[in-house]
Amino acid sequence: MTSELGEELRTTFLFERLSDEQLDWLVDRGEVCTFDRGAHVYDEGEPGEHFYVLLEGGVRFTRRVGADVVELPETTQRGVYAGATQAVISRSVDTYLNSLLTTRPSRFYRLATVDFADFLQRWFPMAVHLLEGLFIGVRNSEAMVRQHEQLTALGALSAGLAHELNNPSSAAMRATGQLRDRVAGMRQKLGMLADGRLSADDLGGLVAAQERVVDLAAKAPRRSALAESEAEDELTGWLDDHDVAGSWEVAGVFAAAGVEPAWLDGLVEQVGEARLEPAVRWLMYTLETETLMTEIEDATGRISTLVTAVKQYSHMDRAPFSDVDVTEGLDSTLTLLGHKLATIDVRRDYPEDVPVVPGHAGELNQVWTNLIDNAAHAMDGEGVLTVTVRARDDGAEIVIGDTGPGIPGDVRPHIFEAFFTTKQAGEGSGLGLEIAHRIVTQRHRGSITVDTEPGGTRVHVWLPGDAVPVSGAPDPA
C-alpha cells in the first residue's frame, strides 16, 4: 500500500506506470515543497541540485539568449518536470539550463539530483544505457565533424595565406634580381663617364643630377595613358636627335619620372655631348633601381602585414579573455581572406572611437571568418561586402552585409542549426553559422541576428561591454 504522496505521484503522467515499490522509493527520498506566486524555484546557471515535478499551481520557464531573456508561456499541467534533467545521462551535479518561476502558489515534488540518477540507474538501466549511448554517440559524431570543419577552415586559411605570401615574395625575388643587373650597369656607365677625364666637380655635378632626377620622379604627377604616350614620343625625338641608342627604352623610364626635354638640355650643358649617352644610361639605371627598391619595400611590407594579420588573427600576443578591439580582428580576417575577396568591393565603416569589449579574440575571429566567408560565397565573387562597427547598448555591434541573392524564406528558420547547409556536397558542413551563434551567445553572452531580403543579407552581431569569462570550450571551427 503506497503512501498518500505516492498515490498523488501516480496521478501524474510521469509516474503513472510505476510500481508501488518504485513509488515508495521516491517518497522515501524526495519531499514536497511549496512556493508563493512569483518565486524563483531555481535560476539558470546555479548548481543543478534537484529535480522538480509540478503537483499543483503554475510555472513558466525563462532562458538567457544573448542580452535577452526568452520566456515560455505559463503552464499549469500537473507532472511538468524541470531542473536537473541531465541526470538522465550524468550522475554529476551540473548547472540548471534555465530558470523556473511560479505564476501562482505552487507545490512540487523535489528529488535530489544524485537520488534521481540512482533511481534511473536502479529501475531503468536499459533505458539509461540507451540514452547514454545515443547522447555520447551524437556528441562524438559532432566532435569529429567539428574537428573536420576546423581543419578544413585552417586548410582554407593556410591556402589563402600561402597564395597571399607567394605574390609579394615572388615580386621581391624578381625585383632583387633586376636590381642586381641595374647596379652592375650603373657601375659600368660610371666607369665610362669617369674614364679618367671627369674632375671632382664634374662627378659631383653628375651625382647632384642623380639626386635631382630621383626627387623629380618622387614628385611626378599621374598622367593619362595618352599624355604619357605623348611625353614618351617627345623624349624619344630628343634622344634620337642627340644620337642616344635605345631611345625608346630610355624615354619610357624618363617619361614615367616626369623628365622633360628642357631638363635633358641642362644635362647636356653639364656633361657634354660626348658623355651624354653614358650619363643618360646611368640616370636611367638610377630611376629603375629606385623603382625596384620601392617594389621590394612594398612586397616586404605586404609580407609584414600578412604576418601581423596572422598574429592578430590567432591572437598569440594576448590573454585568452581580455579587452578586444573588434576592428583589429575584422581587418586581419579580411587580410587573410583576401584571395576570396579579390574581385569583391570591400567597404569598412568604423567609428573614430572604436568600442572595446571583453572577449576571446581568437574565437571572435572565427566568427568573422565564418560570416565573411559566407558573404563572399553568397556573392560568388562579385558584389559589395560592407563591414560596419558601431557602439550600441553599452557594447559593440558588428554588421557584415553582402549584396548576394538573400536567404530564401524556407531556409531562414534553420540557418543557425547544426549541419544545415545549402552549399553543394563537400563545400560546407553546415556548422559555420551554428558555431558563430554558439561563440557569440554562449561564450560572450551576445546576440546574432540576420536581416535578409532579395539583393542582400546583413548579419548583426552584438557583444556586451560587461561580459565575463564563460567556462567550457566552444568547439569552434
pLDDT digits (tens, 9 = 90+) for 218-274: 777 777 888 888 888 888 999 898 888 888 888 888 888 888 888 888 888 877 787
Beta strands in 140-274 (DSSP E): none
CA-based torsion, 164, 168, 174, 177: positive or negative: negative
Residues 282 and 231 in one domain: yes
307 in a structural domain: no
Per residue in 143-200, pLDDT (tens digit) is 565 565 555 555 556 666 665 666 667 667 776 777 776 666 666 556 655 565 555 6
Confidence of residue 459 (pLDDT cuts 50, 70, 90): very high
Mean pLDDT of 302-319: 59
Burial status of residue 241 (CB atoms within 10 A of its CB: 0-12, 13-18, 19 or more): exposed
> What's the gap between Cα 310 and its chain centre?
11
Which residues have C-beta within 8 Å of that of residue 396, sequence separation ≥ 6? 326, 354, 355, 356, 357, 389, 390, 462, 463, 465
Residues 289 and 365 in one domain: no
Q: Alpha-carbon distance 109 to 219, whole Å?
A: 86
134 in a structural domain: no
Confidence of residue 40 (pLDDT cuts 50, 70, 90): very high
* pLDDT for res 338: 79
Q: Look up the CATH number of the domain holding residue 12.
A: 2.60.120.10
Per residue in 1-14, pLDDT (tens digit) is 568 998 999 999 88
Residues 328 and 252 in one domain: no
310 in a structural domain: no
Q: Alpha-carbon distance 337 to 373, whole Å?
A: 8
Residues 331 and 459 in one domain: yes
Cβ-contact 63, 70 below 8 angstroms: yes
Higher per-residue pLDDT: 450 or 278: 450
192 in a structural domain: yes
384-392 and 345-349 beta bridge pairing: parallel
137 in a structural domain: no
* pLDDT for res 77: 92
Cβ-contact 110, 81 below 8 angstroms: no
Higher per-residue pLDDT: 313 or 375: 375
Pick the range with the lowest mean pLDDT from 363-372, 381-390, 418-427: 418-427
Q: Write out the residue range of the structural domain in which residue 89 sits.
A: 4-123
Residues 362 and 418 in one domain: yes
Residues 454 and 341 in one domain: yes
Q: DSSP 3-state assignment of 272?
A: coil
User: Is residue 385 scored above 60 in pLDDT?
Assistant: yes
* pLDDT for res 89: 62
Higher per-residue pLDDT: 356 or 193: 356
Averaged pLDDT of the chain: 78
- Which grid cell is 115? 537520488
Residues 16 and 107 in one domain: yes
Confidence of residue 306 (pLDDT cuts 50, 70, 90): low
Higher per-residue pLDDT: 134 or 410: 410
Residues 274 and 373 in one domain: no
208 in a structural domain: yes
151 in a structural domain: no
Confidence of residue 317 (pLDDT cuts 50, 70, 90): very low
* pLDDT for res 30: 93
Which residue type is seen at 62?
T
* pLDDT for res 424: 47
Higher per-residue pLDDT: 357 or 310: 357
- Which grid cell is 126? 536499459
Residues 331 and 401 in one domain: yes
* Total domains in the fold of the chain: 3
Residues 83 and 203 in one domain: no
Which residue type is seen at 411?
V
Which residue type is seen at 169?
S
User: Is residue 435 scored above 70 in pLDDT?
Assistant: yes
Q: Look up the CATH number of the domain holding residue 389.
A: 3.30.565.10
Q: Which of 242, 273, 302 is the last residue of a domain?
A: 302
Confidence of residue 215 (pLDDT cuts 50, 70, 90): confident
148 in a structural domain: no
Mean pLDDT of 11-21: 89
Exposure letters 116-130 (e unless 16+ CB within 10 A, then b): bbbbbeeeeeeebee
Residues 168 and 295 in one domain: yes
Cβ-contact 98, 71 below 8 angstroms: no
Q: Which of 68, 99, 123 is the last residue of a domain?
A: 123
Residues 53 and 118 in one domain: yes
